Structure 1
Amino acid sequence: MFAELDSGKDSHESLLSTFKVFVPDVRIELNGPRRANQWRGQFAMANRLSWWQLETETEWTCWPEREEERFCLVFPASGGFGARIRGKSLQADSSSALVLGVKDISKTWAHATDDRHGRMSLKLKVADVRRTLTSIFEDATLENIELNPLLDLDSPAGQTLWSLVQAIAAAMKDESIRSAKATALLREAIPRLVFKNFPHRFIERLARHGADASPRQIRAAVDFMRAHMHEPLTLAEIAEAVGISERSLQHGFRTFRGTTPVAHLRDLRLQQAHAELSLAENTLPVSEVALKWGFTHMGRFAAKYQAAYGQSPSETRKRAGSAHLKVTEREIQSPSS
Structure 2
Amino acid sequence: MFAELDSGKDSHERLLSTFRVLVPDVRIELNGPRRAGQWRAQFAMANRLSWWQLETETEWTCWPERDEERFCLVFPASGTFGAQIRGKSLQADSSRALVLGVKDISKTWAHGTDDRHGRMSLKLKAADVRRTLTSIFQDATLENIELHPLLDLDSPAGQTLGSLVHAIAAAMKDESIRSAKAIALLREAIPRLVFKNFPHRFIDRLARHGTDASPRQIRAAVDFMRAHMHEPLTLAEIAEAVGIGERSLQHGFRTFRATTPVAYLRDLRLQQVHAELSLAENTLPVGEVALKWGFTHMGRFAAKYQAAYGQSPSETRRAARGMRSSESN
Range into which the TM-score falls when normalised by the shorter chain: 0.7 to 0.9
Name the CA distance, whole Å, in 1 between partners of 2:109 and 2:98: 12
2:97 corresponds in structure 1 to 97
Alpha-carbon distance change, 295 to 56 in structure 1, aligned in 2, over 3 angstroms: same
| Aligned-CA RMSD value | 4.3
Name the CA distance, whole Å, in 2 between partners of 1:334 and 1:32: 87
1:145-181 per-position Cα deviation (integer Å, ceiling 9, x unaligned): 2110001111222122112211211111111222223
Residue correspondence of structure 1 range 38-117 to structure 2 within 5 A: 38-117=38-117
1:329 corresponds in structure 2 to none
- Contact kept, 8 Å, 2:71 with 2:125, in 1: the verdict is yes
Query: Is the partner of 1:118 in helix, strand or coil?
Result: strand
Alpha-carbon distance change, 74 to 279 in structure 1, aligned in 2, over 3 angstroms: closer
Q: How many residues align?
A: 328
- Contact kept, 8 Å, 1:279 with 1:320, in 2: the verdict is no
- Contact kept, 8 Å, 2:71 with 2:99, in 1: the verdict is yes
Deviation at 1:256, TM superposition (A): 4.2
After TM superposition, the structure 1 stretch with the greater mean CA deviation from structure 2, 304-313 or 215-224, is 304-313
Alpha-carbon distance change, 333 to 248 in structure 1, aligned in 2, over 3 angstroms: closer
1:65-91 per-position Cα deviation (integer Å, ceiling 9, x unaligned): 443322111001112111121221111
Query: Is the partner of 2:189 in helix, strand or coil?
Result: helix
Q: Which structure 1 segments of 5+ residues have no match?
A: 324-331
Name the CA distance, whole Å, in 2 between partners of 1:50 and 1:320: 57
2:319 corresponds in structure 1 to 320
After TM superposition, the structure 1 stretch with the greater mean CA deviation from structure 2, 13-22 or 235-244, is 235-244
1:326 corresponds in structure 2 to none
Alpha-carbon distance change, 308 to 136 in structure 1, aligned in 2, over 3 angstroms: closer
Name the CA distance, whole Å, in 1 between partners of 2:259 and 2:141: 26
1:113-149 per-position Cα deviation (integer Å, ceiling 9, x unaligned): 2442110001112222222223333332222221100
After TM superposition, the structure 1 stretch with the greater mean CA deviation from structure 2, 31-40 or 295-304, is 295-304
Deviation at 1:62, TM superposition (A): 2.2
1:148 corresponds in structure 2 to 148
- Contact kept, 8 Å, 1:277 with 1:320, in 2: the verdict is no
Name the CA distance, whole Å, in 1 between partners of 2:140 and 2:202: 8
Alpha-carbon distance change, 333 to 165 in structure 1, aligned in 2, over 3 angstroms: closer
1:228-247 per-position Cα deviation (integer Å, ceiling 9, x unaligned): 44544321221233233323
After TM superposition, the structure 1 stretch with the greater mean CA deviation from structure 2, 283-292 or 46-55, is 283-292
Name the CA distance, whole Å, in 2 between partners of 1:280 and 1:117: 75
Give the % identical residues: 91
Q: Which structure 2 segments of 5+ residues have no match?
A: none
Alpha-carbon distance change, 232 to 336 in structure 1, aligned in 2, over 3 angstroms: closer
Alpha-carbon distance change, 312 to 149 in structure 1, aligned in 2, over 3 angstroms: closer
Name the CA distance, whole Å, in 2 between partners of 1:310 and 1:132: 34
After TM superposition, the structure 1 stretch with the greater mean CA deviation from structure 2, 165-174 or 220-229, is 220-229
Name the CA distance, whole Å, in 2 between partners of 1:5 and 1:132: 34
After TM superposition, the structure 1 stretch with the greater mean CA deviation from structure 2, 147-156 or 132-141, is 132-141
Residue correspondence of structure 1 range 1-337 to structure 2 within 5 A: 1-210=1-210, 212-257=212-257, 259-268=259-268, 294=294
Alpha-carbon distance change, 82 to 229 in structure 1, aligned in 2, over 3 angstroms: same
Deviation at 1:15, TM superposition (A): 0.9
Deviation at 1:20, TM superposition (A): 1.9
Deviation at 1:298, TM superposition (A): 6.6
Deviation at 1:285, TM superposition (A): 11
Deviation at 1:60, TM superposition (A): 2.3
Alpha-carbon distance change, 74 to 333 in structure 1, aligned in 2, over 3 angstroms: closer
TM-score, with length taken from structure 2: 0.80
Name the CA distance, whole Å, in 2 between partners of 1:26 and 1:186: 26
After TM superposition, the structure 1 stretch with the greater mean CA deviation from structure 2, 290-299 or 9-18, is 290-299
Name the CA distance, whole Å, in 1 between partners of 2:70 and 2:278: 58
Alpha-carbon distance change, 220 to 111 in structure 1, aligned in 2, over 3 angstroms: same
Query: Is the partner of 1:188 in helix, strand or coil?
Result: helix
Alpha-carbon distance change, 277 to 51 in structure 1, aligned in 2, over 3 angstroms: closer
Alpha-carbon distance change, 290 to 334 in structure 1, aligned in 2, over 3 angstroms: closer
- Contact kept, 8 Å, 2:128 with 2:188, in 1: the verdict is yes
Name the CA distance, whole Å, in 1 between partners of 2:68 and 2:276: 60
Alpha-carbon distance change, 59 to 223 in structure 1, aligned in 2, over 3 angstroms: same
